[in-house]
Amino acid sequence: MGTSDRLERIREQANVADRDADEPTVLAAVVLAISLLLLSPVAWVLITASEMPTGRLVELVGSETTMAVTVNTLVLVVAVTTMSVVIGVPLALLTVQTDLPFKRFWTVTAALPLVVPSYIGAFAFVSAFGPRGELADLLAPLGIQQIPTIYGLHGTVLVLTLFTYPYVFLTTRASLISFDGTVIEAARTLNASRWQAFKRVTLPQILPGIAAGALLVALYTLSDFGTPAIMRYDVFTRMVFVEEQARNPDAAAVLSLLLLVLAMSILAVESRIGASRDGAYVASGDRRAGEIELGYWELPAMGFCAAIGALCLALPIGILGLWLVRSTEAAPAGFVFELQHVTNSVLLAGGAAALCVVVALPIAYLSARGDGTLSSLPERVSYVGYAVPGVVIGLSLIYLALRFVPFLYQSLFVLVFAYVVRFLPQAVGTTESSVLQVDPSYLEAARSLGYGPLTSFRKVVLPLVAPGVAAGAALVFLTTMKELPATLMLRPIGFETIVTYIWLVRGAAYQGQAAVPALILVGVSGLSMLIILRQEA
């Protein structure tokens, strides 16, 4: 089929909508209203900042605290991103392009740290290396009274790097796998050395993959609340929370605004890289050409993989195990982990998942099948959740609820809405990709066989997209279970979930009690990883 024929077809498909003009218009109107709601947290930040007297705004932005927090945040983001690349790229190269023994094992080990929520990792590291931690206890008999503190920048960088580098690892790995190894052999036959071949052929082709992973790490680092809070390092997320607790909405709004600007810039860069990645060449053969023999380097390479695995997996799991063993002593009332915490978490996550599916289906369908920019606008808007950190959503919704719907303030409804704003992109993403896999001519075929548009949709499209929709719902469910900042800020007083329970006992130093809920969350993250991997397969 020639290009012009293809164009003819695309135009035609766009035009089918003409006939049933009423239905898409109603759909578009509903979807547009929803997307406006989704934008409300961002709008609140912007409006609050713009309503502030200019002098106050300048004073807040220019204040010493703000400056310090900005510098802290930037240093943290740059450091974590760099370190993630330093760890993630070699791991990806080792597991894809060399003859490393037990490659599958190391691949799984290298990806697995993603299943440990970073705040639980931070918690474990404090417990291991903090003052009066396991290491200190171990060293005390040897006469070592003080070990360097884990708190602050280096601890935060260490923890965040160890639990986010898998983003770089996975994206780099993906581009290495889709990369045709024969071109390395071609380069070698053209007399390039191994290193030159890597630099001139491999690197330019996997660079977009590395960059995509690095940006994910940067975005995650920027918006993570739990880790810097536990590691006592003052970044935007922590300070927004602190200012909110101190009832300083102005300062919190300004800090949120700066945080948003940073997040949006990272996302903007990411979307450009994402677009350029579409053109990447995908190898058709499964032959792994150009594999590197490690030789003497085999042992050091395995040692590297093992060390990362030990730090990221063995250590936190070991600490959780220790807690579990030691948690026999009864905690005081109010600090006991109960079934109620789990059911509360499940209730919230279930509500968020259900609402996300209902909202995501029309948005995704309109974006995948509609014509032109206008119909993909709601989909774009829904991605705002990726960029808006949980603290900002939490903060905005507190004040929005107080001002416009005071009867909903501190209700579960607002909290579920916060989850929807934050995690809708996951549901829209999986739903849209499954809608896109449904050939538009299925619908036309059903109509030519005598069914109306809605019946055709129900009989043909719905059964085909159901697995994607379910996967989206499961993802939202599982991520909601782990969400920390918005839950902390928006839950009704006295309403405790698994996450808020962990936060509570951490603050009160009954950390032993946190073992079971922490292990539940690790399991939950593991499940969501599995779903993501199956979606991509």
Partner 1 sequence: MAKQKPSQRISEFETVQTAVEDPERTVLSIEGVSKRYGPEKAVERLSLSVKDGELLTLLGPSGCGKTTTLRMIAGLEAPSSGTITIAGETVTGDADGPFKKPEERDVGIVFQDYALFPHLTVAENIAFGLDELDEVATDARVAELLELVDLVAHEEKMPSQLSGGQQQRVALARSLAPEPDVLLLDEPFSNLDVRLRVEMREEVRRILKRAGVTAISVTHDQEEALSISDRVAIMNDGAIAQVGNPGEVFENPESRFVASFLGQASFLSARVTDSLETGLGSFDLELLNGPIEAYDGAMIDVLVRPDDLQAMPTSEPKADGYVVHRQYNGPNFIYRVELHSGDVVHCMHNHVETFEAGQPVAVDLAADHELAWYPAE
Give the footprint of partner 1 on this chain (CB under 8 A).
1-5, 7-9, 11-12, 15-16, 18-19, 439, 441-442, 444-452, 456, 459-460, 463-464
CA–CA gap between residue 157 and residue 315 (Å, rounded): 17
Are the beta carbons of 289 and 184 closer than 8 angstroms? yes
C-beta of 465 vs 488, nearer to partner 1: 465
**Which tokens hold the place of 32?**
């547009």
For the bound state, the minimum distance from the C-beta of residue 458 to partner 1, rounded and expressed in Å, comes to 13
**Which tokens hold the place of 519?**
């292990």
For the bound state, the minimum distance from the C-beta of residue 25 to partner 1, rounded and expressed in Å, comes to 17
> What's the helix, strand, coil split of the chain in %, to 5?
80, 0, 20
Are the beta carbons of 52 and 197 closer than 8 angstroms? no
For the bound state, the minimum distance from the C-beta of residue 335 to partner 1, rounded and expressed in Å, comes to 51
C-beta of 22 vs 64, nearer to partner 1: 22
Task: Judge residue 506's burial from the number of C-beta atoms within 10 Å of its C-beta, 0-12 exposed, 13-18 middle, 19 or more buried.
Answer: buried
For the bound state, the minimum distance from the C-beta of residue 449 to partner 1, rounded and expressed in Å, comes to 3
Are the beta carbons of 223 and 389 closer than 8 angstroms? yes
CA–CA gap between residue 376 and residue 369 (Å, rounded): 9
For the bound state, the minimum distance from the C-beta of residue 203 to partner 1, rounded and expressed in Å, comes to 38
For the bound state, the minimum distance from the C-beta of residue 473 to partner 1, rounded and expressed in Å, comes to 19
C-beta of 188 vs 447, nearer to partner 1: 447
Question: Which position has the token pair 């291991």?
Answer: 128
Q: Which of 14, 23, 9 is nearest to 371 (CA)?
A: 14
Identify the bridge partners of residue 292 per DSSP, sorted by sequence position: 98
DSSP structure string for 209-222:
HHHHHHHHHHHHHH
For the bound state, the minimum distance from the C-beta of residue 470 to partner 1, rounded and expressed in Å, comes to 14
**Which tokens hold the place of 117?**
């929520």
Query: DSSP 3-state assignment of 98?
Result: strand
Query: DSSP 3-state assignment of 292?
Result: strand
For the bound state, the minimum distance from the C-beta of residue 5 to partner 1, rounded and expressed in Å, comes to 4
C-beta of 24 vs 290, nearer to partner 1: 24
Task: Judge residue 202's burial from the number of C-beta atoms within 10 Å of its C-beta, 0-12 exposed, 13-18 middle, 19 or more buried.
Answer: buried
Q: How far is CA 218 from CA 21, 76, 265, in A?
A: 43, 9, 11
Q: Distance of alpha carbon 48 from its chain centroid, rounded?
A: 27
**Which tokens hold the place of 404?**
């416009």
For the bound state, the minimum distance from the C-beta of residue 212 to partner 1, rounded and expressed in Å, comes to 31
For the bound state, the minimum distance from the C-beta of residue 452 to partner 1, rounded and expressed in Å, comes to 6
C-beta of 460 vs 484, nearer to partner 1: 460
Residue 205: what residue type? Q
CA–CA gap between residue 44 and residue 242 (Å, rounded): 19
For the bound state, the minimum distance from the C-beta of residue 365 to partner 1, rounded and expressed in Å, comes to 18
List of residues 6+ apart from 209 with CB closer than 8 A: 171, 172, 173, 174, 175, 176, 277
CA–CA gap between residue 161 and residue 95 (Å, rounded): 19
